[in-house]
Structure 1
Amino acid sequence: MESIPYFIIGAVVLVIIAAGFVTVNQGSVAVITVFGKYRRIMPPGLNFKIPLIEMVYKRISIQNRSVELEFQAVTQDQANVYFKAMLLYAVFNQSEETIKNVAFKFVDDRNFMQALIRTIEGTIRSFVATKKQAEILSLRTEIIQEVKKHLDDTLEQWGYHMIDIQLNDITFDEEIIKSMSRVVASNNLKAAAENEGQALLITKTKAAEAEGNAIKISALAEKEAAQQRGQGIALFREEVAKGMAQAAKEMTDADLDASFLLFSMWTEAIKHFGETGKGNVIFLDGSTDGMTKTINQMMGMMKMSEKAE
């Protein structure tokens, strides 16, 4: 039997040795097993494994990963709520124990993802079942906090941690959306009516206040004007009385009859009526008795003025 050429043996050895070199990409690690049992972890870069003995069981990404979720929940008052969410998660750390959990807790990534999604859905459904449909839209933050509270410990046991979860959309059945729109519209109309009523009340109140102030100012002005008119009439009468008394005194000193002054005033008054009158009719008693009566009255007024002095 012919012997195998040495170069063939050498080539096979080189191939086997070359197969022992393993490249691990940045952002991932490789899990090495020996005959199916965990052996060690390969970090990023060029590594060497024992050919034909050590095997790369799984490459695990330690980068952030995201998944989108769509599911349905039912509220306490039997309303269907539809959620769209985005979950951001990553491997908890690069320790050996964590990597072993990630590699061996689930058969494959599909089973892990199914468990993750069902856990989130179950948590949200349990929370929503205790709330009424009208409360859900205002409880977005509380729902996220509830998921984080229940999911953090579970994910850590699987070797992961949740970075963030966002509820991108919360919707209801079409009939519920229409009824909610009608409720919002009626509330808006009610608020608008209340605002209009308040505005009208304020307008009327301000108008009444302005009218009251105007009346008050007008009354004060009228009062002051009346006082001024009264003072003017009083001063006028006072000056007339003083003038008449002075004239009567001068006529008495001149040894003249005071009735002549009154007659002169009488004729001056009739002249003034005739010159300044504008078609008005003035009835005067032009008889001798009427004139005598008028002069006596005027003389009585003069005597009263003298006594007042």
Structure 2
Amino acid sequence: MCLIPFTISTSEVGVIESFGKFKRMAPPGLGCLICCVEDLVGRMSYRVQQLDVRVETKTLDNVFITAVVSIQFQVLQEKVYEAFYALTDPRRQITAHVFDVMRAELPNLELDAVFEAKEDLAIAVKGALSETMTQYGYQILQVLITDLDPDQRVKNAMNEINSSKRLKFAVAERAEGDKILKVKSAEAEAEAKYLSGVGVAKQRKAIVDGLKTSVKDFTDGVKGTNSKDTLDLLLLTQYFDCIKDVGSAPNCKTTFIPTSKTVGDEMRTSLLQADMAKSK
């Protein structure tokens, strides 16, 4: 009797037939076949496998979308016989079930709802596959919706809508900000003008009170003088102070001063006329 050696890798099992009939499973390690009697017809892996299925269908609002569904599955050790002999091509079987579920679920959802229902779609696909594939010796470990890809024109339109909404909000916020700035600026200007008016009023009151006190003190202190003489003296003093300020300015080179004998009366008359014009 001639023996033919063979090896089975870890996490695999060998299927051995004798004259076309299943005989036994070969565990990992070294094994032997009886020459011309037994035959190693296949190997089944216990490792987790992944199958990516691309499904193209349309949504409730008539938008075509391509979904990529990733299925992670493995062979059940206690059902290796069913996994090897029940299905000719298990991957095509899984793909058919994925197409059936996705093309039944997606047409009931609008495009925006599809992206929110990824988890529900994955659960629906896993439930349908688990119910069917378990009897054939396959365990469905996980189903993931890894991609949802509508037509490029649809994506551009969605981005444009989102951009327009954000631009609308930005314009509204900018307008509100400009409004607040203008209101605050107007309030500040009104407050400044009010305070400026109060300051001018207090300044004028202080000037009047000072002049009143000065005239009274000068009249009482210098005998034979009246209020006119006091005002003339004050106006003359202010005149010389004005000439001093003008002459001490950095850009002042030459100052012309009138020398007429009646300059005091003329200056007093001019100042009084100007003051009367302001009061009118």
- Report deviation, 1:237: 0.6
Paired AA for residue 51 in structure 2: V
**Helix, strand or coil: the match of 1:26?**
coil
Displacement of 1:146? 2.6
The alignment's TM-score, normalised by the length of structure 1, stands at 0.65
Q: 1:159 to 1:25 in 2, by over 3 A?
A: same
Q: Which residue of 1 aligns with 2:48?
A: 64
Which residue of structure 2 lines up, in the alignment, with residue 261 of structure 1?
225
Q: Deviations over 1:245-272 (max 9, x none)?
A: 3445xxxxxxxxxxx4339938965994
Q: Are 1:210 and 2:185 counterparts? A: yes
**Deviation beyond 6 Å, 4+ runs, structure 1:** none
Instruction: Give the structure 2 partner of residue 287 of structure 1.
Output: none
Report the CA distance between 1:160 and its aligned residue.
Answer: 2.2
Contact 2:70/2:143 (8 A) holds in 1: yes
Cα–Cα, structure 1 residues 215 and 276, in superposed 2: closer, same or farther, change >3 Å?
A: farther
State, as a whole percentage, how many aligned pairs show the same letter: 16
Cα distance in 2 for residues equivalent to 1:135 and 1:172? 13
Alignment of 1:141-152 (within 5 A): 141-152=119-130
Alignment of 1:1-309 (within 5 A): 13=1, 16=2, 18-19=3-4, 21-33=5-17, 38-49=22-33, 54-92=38-76, 94=77, 97-106=78-87, 108=88, 110=89, 112-172=90-150, 177-178=152-153, 181-182=156-157, 184-248=159-223, 260-262=224-226, 265=229, 272=236, 274-275=263-264, 281=270
Q: What secondary structure is seen at the aligned counterpart in 1 of 2:109?
A: coil
State the alpha-carbon separation in 1 of the partners of residues 235 and 130 from structure 2. Answer: 117
Distance in 1 (CA, whole Å) between partners of 2:166 and 2:129 is: 42
1:22–1:171: structure 2 CA closer, same or farther, 3 Å change rule? same
Question: SS where residue 261 of structure 1 aligns?
Answer: coil
State the alpha-carbon separation in 1 of the partners of residues 231 and 215 from structure 2: 17
Structure 2's unaligned 5+ residue stretches are 237-261, 274-280
Asked whether the equivalents of residues 83 and 136 of structure 2 are also in contact (C-alpha less than 8 Å), the reply is yes
- Letter in structure 2 aligned against 1:261: T
- CA distance in 1 between partners of 2:192 and 2:225 (Å): 47
The letter for the 1-side match of 2:86 is K
How many Å separate the matches in 2 of 1:129 and 1:140?
Answer: 14
Q: Which of the two has higher C-alpha Rg? A: 1
- How far residue 80 of structure 1 moved from its aligned partner, in angstroms, is 3.3
Structure 2 CA distance, aligned partners of 1:149 and 1:98? 20
- CA, structure 1 residues 55+236, in 2 after alignment: closer, same or farther (shift >3 Å)? same
Shift of 1:47: 1.6
Q: Distance in 1 between matches of 2:70 and 2:82?
A: 24
Aligned residues: 248
Where does residue 300 of structure 1 map in the other structure?
A: none
SS of the counterpart of 2:217?
helix
Q: Pairwise CA RMSD of aligned residues?
A: 3.6
Equivalent AA in structure 1 for residue 111 of structure 2: Q
Q: Which residue identity does 1:25 align to in structure 2?
A: S
Q: Relative to 1, partners in 2 of residues 1:22 and 1:191: Cα closer, same or farther, differing over 3 Å?
A: closer
